[in-house]
Chains A and B, each alone.
Chain A
């Protein structure tokens, strides 16, 4: 153990006028971590059904300059992506996450679209990922790093498109944490990215400018298909 560590912990204990915590007090702290109680959760997403949550998510996302398109099924995704690309004069080639959901999209219906699976190269203009959750409370996307969704996809390309099944839209952030804990038995991925709109800065005279370092545009495709999880 480093002397700095011991000295700092010793000073903290001295300031708190006690030794290391043991017994009941330590057990209480253990229990607080194990139960990780949620605090006050804003009512704005309370009691909403799937439709209500999706609407709140969409409204909040639009508010922070994300664009959203709803599609019925995964079969509609190639058309939606192609439209987005042509509408913004973007190349038909893009980097796409190796997520199983992306495999289910019938890309062959749009033979001109060229997918590069895996992490993007610095020159890729467009990235496509799959969202783990959408948080309706604030219009925030939650993306997990891992082999399915390289985190660089979220930051390097100028345009970031995210596929999000409507069934993955939750109310508050606490609910998103709950889903994460359940899906991976409490193990954290290297990175959890909460993304609330496209990159921006107000550092020059407080004037808001998009695309400081991350994507200039953020586009979400909400897939309404109820059978998708």
Chain B
């Protein structure tokens, strides 16, 4: 997918003024966090499970090469195929090669962020293979030719009115006077439209929530059942997964599944958790005749062994964005690439380069909520800080900010000078602002005062009062 992360500020500005988006985000902020709380409230072991999840993934990352080889061996033993892709381009070519070999004209797709990452849909289309998204949210945004705005709820930025309009424009064979007012009728219409596609598709492509080394299995988790129809009905099932999706055993998968749905949607378990191992067996009445897994690196090997390694524990639950005040204000599209919110603010610069995404690690208030809800205990704010440091070292931050910060650092390293300047500034601002009580506009801080007022200082500084208090005590 083409990135617009460099234009984050403009994107965000636009998002704040988008009425539809803001009404959709209101609903999100009210929904996800409460459901998560309700679910973990019923599981006293949740905190311990987080710690355990963190350990399992850390263990995998330390031995990732070994587990990947073992996983590969077991996929092959079960009659499947494993392909390795260093780059998005390699992954696209492997998918296309398989489609060509199978004579595939249409491909159904379960929700996969990896396919978004490598820009698969546009590519397949340009090569004459029609991809059909089957997750309801993905289907809607595919019709609208938009990217997903959330990793588990891709159409969360839309209102039902917008979906209705899209369906009316696309499903032109249906009676124009049909009632599509309620989500129920929209869901039913999509179900009917997609059922046909499922039955006709030649190849089914899904992502993977986990890859199990012990058995060579891939695991997908959905609520709709679209992922299952996608992999069950066509002649071949292709799994797209990134390297770090590995877990050692079935038991480890069980342990992480307890975290995933609760953190994502506040369910104990998502409706369908499907563990697939190889193609249809000789005696099986259904299932795909071929089973392929394509493993994607695309920069992940470069994160291993660095301060960003911990990001590879991510299980893509979306909790960090559901709880993020910045995501909650601007939605996912403003982030400009596949992965939005706090996890995107770390992952995007890791995968496409900090020079292309330098605003993202700054799009944070550092409130720390993301880390506190992350089931894998990923220190997201710490890693954003690392990126801010890199940005500084590589002189990617804007000149005004650099000069300002340097000046501030000069003063802060000299406390007497700092207090001297501070006292003067407080007095001057206090005098100037005496009449109005606050400033609506400040020179050099125009961006700040554009959206808020700065209260005028009221006399003495904290430091002054502190010193006086100490003096008094000493007396």
Asked if chains A and B come from one complex, the reply is yes
Question: Using a CB–CB distance below 8 Å, which chain A residues touch chain B?
Answer: 2, 4-5, 7-9, 11-17, 20-21, 25-26, 29, 32-33, 36-40, 42-44, 60, 64, 118-119, 122, 137-140, 145-147, 150-152, 154-156, 172-174, 177, 188-207, 209, 211-215
CA distance A32 to B249 in the complex (A): 9
Question: Using a CB–CB distance below 8 Å, which chain B residues touch chain A?
Answer: 24, 27-28, 31-32, 43-45, 48-49, 52, 56, 62-70, 78, 83-86, 90, 134-137, 140, 153-156, 158-160, 163, 183-184, 186-188, 190-191, 194-195, 198-199, 213-215, 217, 223-226, 228-229, 232-233, 243, 248-252, 254-255, 257-258, 265, 267-281, 283-287, 295, 297, 301-302, 304-306
Say which residue of B44, B85, B214, B268 sits within 8 Å of A43 (CB atoms): B44
CA distance A140 to B44 in the complex (A): 20
Q: Which residues of B contact A204 (CB under 8 A)?
A: 136, 140, 155, 158, 160, 163, 183, 186-187
Closest Cβ neighbor of A173 among chain B residues: B254
Interface contact A39-B56, CB-CB below 8 Å: yes
Which of A2, A64, A145 has the most B CB atoms < 10 Å from its CB? A145
**Given A211-B191, A213-B226, are A29 and B269 neighbors across the interface (CB < 8 Å)?**
no
Nearest CB of chain A from residue B231's CB, rounded to whole Å = 8
Interface contact A200-B224, CB-CB below 8 Å: yes
Which of A13, A36, A199 has the most B CB atoms < 10 Å from its CB? A199
Say which residue of A44, A188, A196 sits within 8 Å of B271 (CB atoms): A196
Q: Can you name 12 A-B residue pairings with CB atoms under 8 Å?
A: A4-B84, A8-B301, A12-B304, A16-B62, A151-B286, A174-B251, A191-B276, A194-B274, A201-B223, A203-B135, A206-B31, A206-B32
CA distance A189 to B286 in the complex (A): 12
Q: Which residues of A contact B223 (CB under 8 A)?
A: 199-202, 212
**Given A16-B304, A201-B223, are A193 and B228 neighbors across the interface (CB < 8 Å)?**
yes
Say which residue of B43, B137, B194 sits within 8 Å of A213 (CB atoms): B194
Interface contact B271-A190, CB-CB below 8 Å: no
Say which residue of B135, B183, B199, B228 sits within 8 Å of A214 (CB atoms): B228
Closest Cβ neighbor of B184 among chain A residues: A209
Q: Which residues of A contact B84 (CB under 8 A)?
A: 2, 4-5, 8
Q: Please report whether the interface of chain A is mostly helix, strand, loop or mixed according to DSSP.
A: loop
**Given A152-B233, A196-B273, are A11 and B301 neighbors across the interface (CB < 8 Å)?**
yes
Say which residue of B69, B159, B225, B302 sits within 8 Å of A212 (CB atoms): B225
Interface contact A203-B140, CB-CB below 8 Å: yes
Closest Cβ neighbor of B55 among chain A residues: A39
Closest Cβ neighbor of A190 among chain B residues: B287
Say which residue of B66, B228, B267 sits within 8 Å of A26 (CB atoms): B66
Q: Which residues of A contact B278 (CB under 8 A)?
A: 188, 190
